[in-house]
Structure 1
Amino acid sequence: MPRFLTHLLGAALAVGLFLRPAFAETDFLALSKDMLIGTDAVRSAAAEVIVARDNPDMIPSLVLLMRIGGSHVVTQRALKALTGQDLPDWRAAMRYQEANPQIEPHPSYYDLKLWYWGGIDRDFHALFETPIDRASMRIRFEEITWGGALFDDIPPLDTPKMIPADVADYMLDSDLVFGVEINGDVRAYPLRIMGWHEMFNEVIGGVPVALAYCTLCGAGILFETDVEGYEAPFVFGSSGLLYRSNKLMFDRQTKSLWNQFTGEPVSGPLAQSGIRLKIRPTTITTWADWRAAHPHTKVLSLDTGHIRNYDSGVVYAEYFASPDLMFPALTDETRLRQKDYVYGIRVAGGAKAWPLTAFEAEPVINDHVGLSEVVLIGDAQTRTVRAYARDGQVFSGDAINLVGPGGAWSLTEEAILGPKGERLPRMPGHVSYWFAWDGYLGAESALYGVVE
């Protein structure tokens, strides 16, 4: 007798029933596995029990089965019966799940998911306390998905080798870099290398930092990793798991999962710590422009200790060229397309995003975010945007010829400098795809060009 029928028969006999499923006694983990690996008859029988129970808490399990076992017609029909919607594949089912946060999974869901992940890499279990405490997590466990890499399989660069600009003959003028300057320490990290590693842990200008680069959401964010109250700076790696098509990083000290986009721990020992890493300014620009502005810069060496194809335009080439996402996420596309680039700033009192296309007509934008006045100097072609607190001043021109009160102002990585010694500091922000900014900030953020 199939295992599913054994469980169901035992449950029925326990309460003196035979023709109706005894839901309280039914082994729903076994039902889920039978829907995955059973014969067509067993799958159908299991689905009938799940649907007859008429409880949405089994929807997350069915969504997961769509990922593990493909869009099997029995699972599709069960999902339609419980959701009232045609969800033809896992992507559609995941978007439905994201749009319905009121649905809480059946307890068997957690065991099913850990069973699935354990079959991929048992090290995933180290990221989650068992039993799963959904209330302690800051993101929905059911929205965490496997991204295709094993735990810590995308190797971060820890204190990587840097070389002088004049010996970096592998660099093309058109190569994009993450440019960083802290306390006079000037560095360039090419995207063609960072795309393979998605993370560096480093000390720049005496400040411990980590660059978390999510290739899927187009965002490289520089975080300070020294947190008050903790003995040592946090050191990060990539977990191999995703949330809304965004990488989840983890810290090596506690193995807590962190949201790459917000710099906050979301599960594990630090989930309720209240930590939010401070964002430092970083600039995406071409190697030619960065080197011209910073001739004494150091740049990341090809000698990373890993064998990868670091040629220009290789890493994630198809994904970057496509309008589609690799993993499902809800996006408001009434204002922008999901992979349009924006530059976003988050400050106390508000957040705002500026489409990079806005800088085609206005290289200098005088604006505000929350209660802060800001001037942004940008180039859509090179994805370069820098933002500064403008303190009521109004600017025009462009990055080369910036005009403000009193005449010409000069632009640096840390501030813009006026003709009479004025100094307006840099504000932290970063570039990302619209779907990621909208998915994480949504109604909390304003959008440039839209009446607030």
Structure 2
Amino acid sequence: MLVIPKIKKKLFFFISLVLTFSSLLAINFPVGPTGNRIVEKDDTAQFFLDLLREDDPYLTARALKYIEENWQEGYEIMLLEATYFARSKRHSNKLLQILQQKTGKKFGLDYDKWFQWIWKKEAAYPAEYFEYKSKLHRLIDPKFGKYFLNRSQQSTIRLDEVRWGGVLQDGIPPLRSPKMIRPLEATYLKDSAIVFGIEVNGDARAYPKQILAWHEMFVDEVGGIPVAGVYCTLCGTVVLYKTEHNGVNHQMGTSGFLYRSNKLMYDKATQSLWSTLEGEPVIGPLVGKGIRLDYLSVVTTTWGEWKKRHPDTKVLSLDTGHRRDYREGVAYRDYFATDDLMFTVPEIDKSLKNKDEILVIRLPEDPDENLAISSRFLKRKPIYKNSIGKTPFTVFTDKSGAHRVFKTNTIEFLEYDGNRTAKDSKGNKWTVKENSLEGPDGKILERFHSFNAFWFGYKAAFPDVTLIK
């Protein structure tokens, strides 16, 4: 998610501008004869919102008095978010003093430590937090209000872990039915360029990282199937979903929010927020409806390797309808250059470096069965066999470092040429295709849907994942 680089240090021009003119935006409140807003005594959400009215000392003083006198556990996150979005350092320090006094914690303006401390406790925020979060973020984008208002009974994730990523709804514009071109026309691409490759019903497509990093999502029909490919740049995942479920084609977009540094999608019809990693709604009216999108495989490889395997592939055109610097390595250059995080997660697991790449393998029918395999480990083992649940699989890693996983049952593979040919223990030759392994007598082994991710983001989303490294 593209954000202003110093967002973790909190204040920046866009927020200042929005909050300065907040009374002109989305929230209109009745006013008394002096011009001050009329606030009901128990309107907790409004008192916390008034903390941001630095232009009205009366309102802020009254809000501070109410909060000090009525403090309860669970107010920490509301006060922290007000401190985070305060326009001036002087005002944020004033709010910080109360936060430190009430909690006994002395983290200063280190927001990562504050958030991690709150997230390590049991969730204790009041029901008013949903209203507060809605109205607070409506000051940034009026569309944000729909995500949280009246959602207290429609959430499967902790609301205090949902953070704004620095952009408006679809502020990072998804590519909808993007223009595709043939390989010979893609003169802008080097053979070494990283692409995300998919094949659906024989329709092969390549989505270069240098373009998709600016858009983070494509929505299209591939091989006759409506799909959405979601790229979370912060957590390194590209997941391909079938967007049709039980006859409904969900029109997905970029919400502007994150959960544990993982991008949250939204659907246009209900404004529900969806997990990128699980393909299901987590906040909003679609929660609890039994909706989980089916996902398909994505392979991270090089343009040279992909077009060699798929000479009839299509690839994204530079003509996206948007003006961006699509040169390789431009988007997120600073973020990808270090192991630092832009948004913290509840706990850092040092089994691998934060942005070490892993291959993710899950059982759709049993999501608790969950494996993460280090890509560095797999590059040392071009053939790797294991099982998940009761399903044996084999990972083939080619010369570009791309991983393809197949359900191999009892068949053991001993050789792989790093390209298209594998040989089993009986000497039979198999052809490695994009979605299947084809062997003697027409035998076909099914592809196991998988994708790559950064270790830190996946571990944060699935703390019980089994790591192989």
TM-score by length of 2: 0.83
CA distance in 2, matches of 1:383, 1:118: 44
Decide whether aligned partners of structure 1 residues 433 and 331 sit closer, same or farther in structure 2, where only a CA change above 3 A counts: farther
- Cα distance in 1, alignment partners of residues 252 and 240 from structure 2: 12
- Per the alignment, residue 225 of structure 1 pairs with 243
Shift of 1:261: 1.3
Identity rate of aligned residues, in percent?
Answer: 35
Number of aligned residues? 419
Stretch deviating more after TM superposition (40-49 or 280-289): 40-49
Cα deviation 1:162-200 (Å, max 9, x = unaligned): 111122111111111111111111111111111111111
State the one-letter code of the partner of 2:388.
Answer: V
1:283 aligns with 2:283: no
The structure 1 residue matched to 2:112, chosen from 91, 103, 110, is 91
Distance verdict in 2 for CA 1:173–1:84, change over 3 Å: same
Residue 211 of structure 1 aligns to a residue whose secondary structure is: strand
Q: Distance in 1 between matches of 2:63 and 2:225?
A: 57
Distance 1:63 1:368 in 2: 44
Q: Name whichever of 310-319 and 30-39 sits farther off.
A: 30-39
Kindly state the Cα deviation for residue 265 of structure 1 after the two structures are TM-superposed.
Answer: 0.9
What CA distance in whole angstroms lies between the structure 1 residues aligned with 2:276 and 2:52? 32
8 Å CA contact 2:274–2:283 kept in 1: the answer is: yes
Is contact 1:372-1:389 (8 Å) kept? yes
- 2:341 alignment partner in structure 1: 325
Cα RMSD between the aligned structures? 2.5
Match in the other structure for 2:136: 116
The answer for the alignment partner of 2:123 in structure 1 is 102
Does residue 157 of the first structure (1) align with residue 175 of the second (2)? yes
Query: Letter of the aligned partner of 1:313 in structure 2?
Result: G
* TM-score, with length taken from structure 1: 0.86
Per the alignment, residue 357 of structure 1 pairs with 376
CA distance in 1, matches of 2:266, 2:114: 27
| Counterpart AA for 2:344 | P
| Partner residue, 2:79 | 62
State the alpha-carbon separation in 2 of the partners of residues 102 and 205 from structure 1.
Answer: 44
Q: Which moved more, 1:370-379 or 1:396-405?
A: 396-405
Q: Give the Cα–Cα distance (whole angstroms) in 2 for the partners of residues 201 and 45 of structure 1.
A: 48
The match for 1:4 is none
Deviation at 1:204, TM superposition (A): 1.2
Which stretches of structure 1, 4 residues or more, deviate above 4 A after TM superposition? 24-27, 37-49, 51-54
- Secondary structure in 2 matching 1:442: coil
Deviation at 1:61, TM superposition (A): 0.8
Alignment of 1:315-394 (within 5 A): 315-347=331-363, 348-349=365-366, 350-378=369-397, 382-394=400-412
Query: What's the CA shift for 1:49?
Result: 5.7
User: Matched residues in 1 for 2:354 and 2:126: separation?
Assistant: 28
1:29 to partner: Cα distance = 4.0
Q: Distance in 1 between matches of 2:42 and 2:222?
A: 57
Amino acid across the alignment from 2:319: D
The unaligned stretches of length 5 or more in structure 1 are 1-23
The letter of the residue matching 1:272 is: G
- The code of the aligned residue for 2:137 comes to W
CA distance in 1, matches of 2:313, 2:147: 38
- Residue-by-residue CA offset, 1:251-280 (whole Å, 9 max, x unaligned): 123222111111001122212212111110
Q: In structure 2, do the counterparts of structure 1 residues 102 and 140 end up closer, same or farther at CA, with 3 Å as the change threshold?
A: closer
- Residue number in structure 1 paired with 2:462: 441
Shift in Å, 1:41: 11
Structure 2: distance between partners of 1:367 and 1:188: 29
DSSP 3-state at the match of 2:437: strand
Instruction: Give yes or no for contact 1:192–1:311 (8 Å, CA) kept in 2.
Output: yes
Equivalent position of 1:10 in the other structure: none
1:312 aligns with 2:312: no
Task: Report the Cα offset of residue 150 of structure 1.
Answer: 0.9
In the TM superposition, what is the alpha-carbon distance from 1:26 to its structure 2 partner?
Answer: 5.9
Per-residue deviation, 1:35: 4.1
Code of the aligned partner of 1:293: R
Distance 2:455 2:82 in 1: 29
